[in-house]
Amino acid sequence: MLINQKNSELKNIVILATGGTIAGTGEEGKTTNYQAGNLDIQTLISSVSNLDKIANIYGEQIANVDSNDITVNHWLTLANKINELSKQEDIDGFVITHGTDTLEETAYFLDLTVKTSKPVVLTGAMRPSTATSADGPLNLYQSVALAASDLSIEQGCMVVFSDGIYSGRNVQKVNTFKTNAFSSIEFGCLGYMRDNIPYFFNKSIKPHTIDSQFDISKLNQLPKVSIAYFNIDADPSILKYFSQSSEGIVIAGAGSGTFSTKWLQAIESLELKGIPVVRSSRIGSGIILEDDAMDKYNNCIPSYTLSPPKARILLSLALTKTKDYGEIKNIFAEY
Ligand code: ASP
């Protein structure tokens, strides 16, 4: 891919479109009952005024789906494409448009698997393009501006949403319909966008991009990891069921990654089968550490501050490297 450099003063940014509400259409003015992933990348680009004043843009359609239909194949395509294109000197950064429902998962996967210090920014929208005050155009404008900023180099994979800049590791969707739908809760945002100017205040110190040990270049699948949600009286047989089809299990536990005595008993047989079990939490903030009672069996691993879907990604990538419980524990402590 060669960027047609229209303005040699500007950076060259590749936009990879995957669909979502930002590319959604519905009844004029309405924010509900629309179809996600309907507009193509060229229409999206042309809907943002002044985009050509902040960067030279090259757009490519990777998919056009609701983000609930994003798969590991999309992840591998995105990571491999970014890894390939980032070697080109005439490409300065990347923006990925994505549905918001699973945006934090793709952001974390790319944070751990792209091998470039060039900026990678994900964005989306909570309102379809046909809504009154659609939020997609400003989010896309600010994402391109962030990807084109020197300040963004070596910041890992970021998310821009509603004037906030978030790290791919810590970002979470926190609202089902409001435009200010993303947050890093207790870790705070990395900074703010005001128009096209980024203001950074924080940095994630966890290994990412060029410092991450994970290499997906030779993979066409990832080890399967399933998430089991715990609640009062939750049936422990879900753990046995998942153990038949998965190489690892993440528990969305109560409180600090806890569950019942019955679930703990079920974990003993998983230990013998060689299946690691990561204890995460359904709470959404706080930390989960090693705990003598809950980590009775060697296969139990605390997720620290990773949410269940993010712990699933890290466990899956860890399993591409090792099946050793101790080594997987170290990976969770480091990342
Ligand atoms: N269901 C949509 C999606 O994730 C929601 C959105 O983009 O806001 O694709």
Asked if 21 is an active-site residue, the reply is yes
Q: Write out pLDDT tens, residues 267-300.
A: 999 999 999 999 999 999 999 999 999 999 999 9
Contact 277, 299 (CB under 8 A): yes
* Helix and strand numbers, DSSP H then E, in the chain: 9, 14
Q: Write out pLDDT tens, residues 55-82.
A: 999 999 999 999 999 999 999 999 999 9
Ligand 1 contact via 36 beta carbon (within 6 Å)? yes
Confidence of residue 5 (pLDDT cuts 50, 70, 90): low
Contact 157, 52 (CB under 8 A): no
Asked if 100 is an active-site residue, the reply is yes
Q: What is the pLDDT of residue 6?
A: 77
Ligand 1 contact via 67 beta carbon (within 6 Å)? yes
Q: Rounded to an integer, what distance in angstroms lies between the CA atom of residue 201 and that of residue 199?
A: 7
Domains and CATH numbers, the chain: 12-211 (3.40.50.1170), 225-334 (3.40.50.40)
> Which residue among 18, 22, 35, 66 has the greatest number of ligand 1 atoms within 8 angstroms of its CB, and so is best to mutate?
66
In the predicted structure, residue 335 carries a pLDDT above the cut 60: yes
Give the position, in ligand 1's atom list, of the atom nearest the Cα of 68: 4
Residue set of the binding site for substrate: 67, 100-101
In the predicted structure, residue 263 carries a pLDDT above the cut 80: yes
Mean pLDDT of the chain: 97
Q: What is the pLDDT of residue 151?
A: 98
Average pLDDT over residues 170-198: 98
| Dist. CA 69 → ligand 1 center (Å) | 10
Residue environment code for 283-306, b if the CB has 16+ CB neighbours within 10 A, otherwise e: eeeeebeeeeebbebebbbbbbbb
In the predicted structure, residue 49 carries a pLDDT above the cut 80: yes
Residue 157 CB contacts under 8 Å (≥ 6 apart), including other chains: 107, 108, 110, 111, 114, 120, 121, 122, 167, 168, 208, 209
Ligand 1 contact via 20 beta carbon (within 6 Å)? yes
Give the position, in ligand 1's atom list, of the atom nearest the Cα of 126: 8
- The one-letter amino acid code at 170 reads N
